[in-house]
Amino acid sequence: MNKFRLTVASPDGNKFNGDIIKLDVRGTEGELAVMAGHIPFTTSVVKAPCVIWLDENTKKTASIDGGLLTVGTDSVTLLSGSFKFDN
């Protein structure tokens, strides 16, 4: 699967910066899955679990309290007031 760059930032610093295959978050209109080649957009995200897929078998789960998701042509940025990895 193709990878893309994800940057996760919160007021207390960068929480993640790396190449992933998929990002699962919850937007104000429902669940979102972002993969490489996704059409660019910006949306708000709500308090919910966030899943970062490093590859087909490896994922990192985190808790976020909402924020802003920006999907670009080759990178994604998630800004959140609070971001904490569960594992």
**Domain made up of 4-85: CATH architecture:** Sandwich (2.60)
Eight-state DSSP code of residue 82: -
- The pLDDT tens digits along the chain (87 residues) read 899 999 999 999 999 999 999 999 999 999 999 999 999 999 999 999 999 999 999 999 999 999 999 999 999 999 999 999 996
**Amino acid 1: pLDDT:** 86
**Amino acid 34: pLDDT:** 97
Query: What is the distance between the alpha carbons of residues 62 and 60, in angstroms, rounded to a whole number?
Result: 7
pTM comes to 0.94
**Amino acid 14: pLDDT:** 96
Place of tokens 């679990």: 49
First to last CA, the chain: 24
**Token digits of residue 73:** 């042509």
Q: Where are the beta strands (DSSP E) in the chain?
A: 4-10, 13-20, 22-27, 30-35, 41-53, 59-71, 75-80, 83-85
